[in-house]
């Protein structure tokens, strides 16, 4: 809460960052060691316990194959957290590099990039990803590729704008005067000062990646069975909303909670970085 922050308060981490960080930390731990937390094998069928309502034995009930919903929600952390990271890391790195180069170079490179941005933002992102996944085949890796093909543009746009500002500042001129190479100026001097907004955006993007990953899972194009993934689980349960709501509702809550973790962290981080500047 920068608006209330007195100079002394800078040392204290903002509350959103603490809450968000705690949620993310817990998510990562659960995602790394799901077997420690899950009471059952997430893929084991139990024909004797189909569609059971939440109880002490199955706190989130069972699905239409008798699988324990809680265990599947827990194991899904592994996949969904992986989606959050892998679907964004390539666009982040690649987009940052391209954005830095384009922003520094300006001229025709910038004009060409502008056209690419226009083209990407005029086409519904999800439709483009669906089309690319259809070309490559379903599955997580292909989904990462599809997201990467499009997603880098957003990072590049942010970085390019920042670099353009930075390169006009004195220290960039100083670097040039000292005879440093362009690449050294870009990556050693300009980028560290320009990267903040991209990092903040990255947090939001990871939340968006989970939404996108689960949307594709819901459509059958994301994580493939028997892997538990929240979107897939919601799709599995959508026919049972009237009779066995728990199959869909709990995985949805997990998505919301994790998304909350990322966006709170992003907000908090933005505050910290803003005050630091």
Partner 1 sequence: MQLASFIARRILQLIPTLLFILIVVFALVRLLPGDPASAMLGDRALDADVERINRELGLDRPLPVQFAVFARSVATGDLGDSITLKLPVTELIATRLPITILLTLMAALIAVVFAVPLAFVAATRRGRMADSAVRGAFQVGLSMPVFYLGLILLTVFGARLRWFPVGGYGDGFLEHLHHLFLPALTLALSLSAILMRNLRAAIIEVIDAEYVQFARAKGLRPRLVLLRHVLRNALISTVALFGLSIGTLLSGAVITETVFAIPGAGRLMVDSIYARDYPVVQGLTIALAVLVSLTFLLTDLVQAWLDPRVAR
Partner 2 sequence: MKTLSIAALTAALFLGGLTDASAQDRGGVMTYGRYTDSLFLDPVLNDANVDIWILTNIYETLLNPTDDGLGLEPGLATEWALNEAGDTVTLKLRDGVRFSDGTAMTAEDVIWSLDRARNPDNGIWNFVLASVDSVSAPDPQTIELKLKYPDPTIFSALSVFNTAIMPKAAFEAMVGATDAEKAQEFAKKPIGTGPFMLDSWERGATMKLVKNPNYWDNGADGQPLPYLDGLTFEIIPDDATRILKLQAGDIDGAEFIPFARVAELQADPNVKMELFPGTRVWDVIINVRPELDGRPNPLSDEKVRQAMNYAANKEALVQVVTYGVGTPLSSFMSTTTPMHSGDGPLFPHDLDKAKALMAESGYPDGFKTSILTIAGNQDDLGISTALQQMWAAIGIELEIKQVDNASRTDQYRAGTFEMRTGGWTNDIADASQITSYFAYSPTIDALHSGWKNAEVDALFEASQKRWTRPSGRNSSRGSRKSSTRPGRPSRFMKRPIPWRLARM
Give contact residues for partner 2 (rule: CB under 8 A). Answer: 43, 45, 47, 64-65, 134, 137-139, 219-221, 224-226, 235-236, 238-243
- In the complex with partner 1, the residue whose CB is nearer, 76 or 191, is 76
- In the complex with partner 1, the residue whose CB is nearer, 114 or 225, is 114
Radius of gyration of the chain (CA): 22
98 C-beta neighbours (distance < 10 Å), count? 20
> DSSP for 103-149?
HHH-HHHHHHHHHHHHHHHTS-HHHHHHHHHHHH-SSHHHHHHHHHH
The tokens describing 183, both together, are 């690449």
- In the complex with partner 1, the residue whose CB is nearer, 93 or 253, is 253
The interface region with partner 1, picked from 41-49, 52-60, 83-91, 132-140 by CB under 8 A, is 132-140
* From partner 1, partner 2, none, interface partner of 82 (C-beta below 5 to 8 A by class): none
Q: Which residues does 37 contact at the CB level (< 8 Å), separation at least 6? A: 30, 74
Of the candidate residues 32, 135, 165, 174, the single one contacting partner 1 (CB under 8 A): 135
Of the candidate residues 26, 130, 161, 199, the single one contacting partner 1 (CB under 8 A): 130
Q: How far apart are the first and last CA of the chain?
A: 15
Q: Which residues pair with 62 in a beta bridge?
A: 68
The interface region with partner 1, picked from 37-45, 87-95, 163-171, 240-248 by CB under 8 A, is 240-248
**CA–CA separation, 237 vs 83, rounded Å?**
21
Binding residues (CB under 8 A) for partner 1: these are: 1, 3-4, 115-116, 118-119, 121-127, 130-132, 134-135, 207, 211, 214-215, 218, 231, 234, 238, 241-242, 245, 248-249, 252, 255-260, 262-264, 267
């Amino acid at each position: 809460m920068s608006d209330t922050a007195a100079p002394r308060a800078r040392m204290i981490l903002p509350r959103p960052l603490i809450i968000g960080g705690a949620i993310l930390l817990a998510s990562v731990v659960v995602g790394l060691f799901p077997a420690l937390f899950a009471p059952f094998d997430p893929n084991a069928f139990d024909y004797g316990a189909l569609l059971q309502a939440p109880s002490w034995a199955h706190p989130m009930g069972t699905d239409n194959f008798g699988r324990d919903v809680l265990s599947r929600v827990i194991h899904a952390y592994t996949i969904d957290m992986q989606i959050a990271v892998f679907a964004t890391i390539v666009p982040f790195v690649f987009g940052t590099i391209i954005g830095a180069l384009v922003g520094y170079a300006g001229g025709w490179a910038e004009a060409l990039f502008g056209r690419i941005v226009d083209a990407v933002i005029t086409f519904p992102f999800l439709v483009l990803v669906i089309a690319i996944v259809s070309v490559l085949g379903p599955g997580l890796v292909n989904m990462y590729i599809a997201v990467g093909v499009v997603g880098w543009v957003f990072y590049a746009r942010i970085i390019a704008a920042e670099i353009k500002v930075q390169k006009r500042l004195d220290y960039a001129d100083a670097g040039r005067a000292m005879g440093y190479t362009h690449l050294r100026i870009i990556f050693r001097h300009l980028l560290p000062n320009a990267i903040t907004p991209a990092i903040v955006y990255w947090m939001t993007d990871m939340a968006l990646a989970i939404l996108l990953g689960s949307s594709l899972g819901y459509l059958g194009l994301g994580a493939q069975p028997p892997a538990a993934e929240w979107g897939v689980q919601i799709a599995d349960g959508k026919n049972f909303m009237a009779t066995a709501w728990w199959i869909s509702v709990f995985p949805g809550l997990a998505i919301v909670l994790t998304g909350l973790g990322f966006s709170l962290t992003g907000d908090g981080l933005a505050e910290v970085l803003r005050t630091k500047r």
